[in-house]
Amino acid sequence: MMTKEELKSFTTSLVDHYQVAYKYDKGDSEEYRTQKHDTMRMALAAANFLDARGDYTIISVTPIYK
């Protein structure tokens, strides 16, 4: 978690991509998969889509820095 000072100086130009980590509930529960997205909006949309299908558990949506 970022502090208030880190958030004040945060810029999206530092982010390379956003990663959605999830697992398929009907398969091997220890296997995690990831998707790479250019924007947070795209990553959240993908996470919501996977969650709505009911076969996946979303683990995280994380920015990956340059």
- Judged against a pLDDT cut of 80, whether residue 2 lies above it is answered with no
Region for residue 43 given its phi and psi (left: phi exceeds 0; alpha: psi -120 to 50; beta: otherwise): alpha
User: Nearest CA to 64 among 43, 47, 45, 33?
Assistant: 43
Q: 47 is written with which tokens?
A: 């996470």
pLDDT for position 7: 75
| pLDDT score recorded for residue 43 | 94
Q: Which pTM value belongs to this model? A: 0.74
Q: What is the pLDDT of residues 27-60, one digit of tens each?
A: 766 678 888 999 999 999 999 999 999 988 999 9
State the sign of the Cα–Cα–Cα–Cα dihedral 36, 42, 44, 47: negative
Q: How remote is the C-alpha of 19 from its chain's centroid?
A: 4
